[in-house]
Amino acid sequence: MEETWNIRSVLDWTQGYLLNHGIGDARSQAQRLVCHALSLSRVDLFLNLDKPLSVEERDILRDAIKRRVAGEPLQYITGKAPFRFIDVIVDKGVLIPRPETEVLVSEVLRFLDDERFASEEPSSFLVADICTGSGCIAASLASEREDISVIATDISNEALDIACRNIEALGLRDKVSLLPGDLGSAIDEDLMGRFDAIVSNPPYVPSDLIDTLEIQVASFEPRLALDGGSDGLDIFRRLLPFAHKALRVGGLFACELHETSLEEAVSLAQSTGFDAKQICDLNDKPRVLLAYKRGDE
């Protein structure tokens, strides 16, 4: 690129380069890469189309383009990802939030709305987010409803660092508590039986399928957060008894799982003391288990 290239010309060049390397949605991705390199919002980008790029900005953009055509996810390059009504910080230590997980959050909010309307008195809700990763689920629940408090856990210190940054950036320190530990092991025993909802997006991809995923997932996202064992249910099986112990009667355990695992997951939940069903994602694939703690155990 020549020093005289401005935002307009570099946008066109980047879009064409991405297209030639098989990157879908090249126009939008070019805009986001240029915004990243110049530290501009999209609005400011288009208000300054004639602005020339500095040598430093060109170097940042060149590096970002190389990373993208090598398959690295755009979200890791820019360091952020949209999720529902918020943007969250992400890096290679956490999964990139996906639309499927927005369905999981919607189902938990729908359940708590029903509980609120059924109650004669105003109430607050206690939710646990297990395997929180970036904290996108906990942050969304806490930011969208004033009456929700969340305890979020993760075994990865790297993930908890990212989640902490997101909770701080979104002003949710008073509503979300972060705990290091394996699944629910760090949660106070005194809280068992008091949770209104347990939500989790655990590692759930069957081991044999990980290497068949698109390159930006298989080669860049953390395997620890993907690998669910031979049938994708290793972590889920360990979560079930914790969820049953932690929930109040009638409470909800909502868990995102692989589309091939939902039927078995429903059966396992029913045999653990839940009434369970499966919900499809936006692509009409089985994706979310909803399990309600029975009171006849």
**Residue 18 to residue 208: CA distance in whole angstroms:** 31
Is residue 251 within 8 A of residue 192, CB to CB? The reply is no
Does 185 lie in the same domain as 91? yes
Domain presence at residue 1 = no
Q: What is the number of structural domains in the chain?
A: 2
Q: What angle do CA 282, 85, 113 make, to 5 degrees?
A: 75
Domain presence at residue 114 = yes
Reply yes or no on whether the pLDDT at 215 is more than 90.
Answer: no
Does 141 lie in the same domain as 22? no
Q: What angle do CA 230, 205, 294 make, to 5 degrees?
A: 85
Going from the C-alpha of 131 to that of each of 46, 93, 187, 195, 285, the distances in angstroms are 39, 13, 13, 16, 22
Determine phi and psi for 293, rounding to 5 degrees: -65, 125
Tens-digit pLDDT profile for residues 242-284? 999 999 999 999 999 999 999 999 999 999 999 999 999 988 9
Tens-digit pLDDT profile for residues 85-138? 999 999 988 999 999 999 999 999 999 988 776 665 557 899 999 999 999 999
**Residue 95 to residue 110: CA distance in whole angstroms:** 25
CATH number of 145's domain:
3.40.50.150
Q: What is the pLDDT of residue 2?
A: 46
Does 275 lie in the same domain as 205? yes
Does 66 lie in the same domain as 86? no
Does 134 lie in the same domain as 25? no
Six token digits for residue 150? 């969340």
The range of the structural domain enclosing residue 63 comes to 7-70
Decide which of 70, 92, 114 is a domain's last residue. 70
Q: What is the pLDDT of residue 218?
A: 75
Length of the chain equals: 297
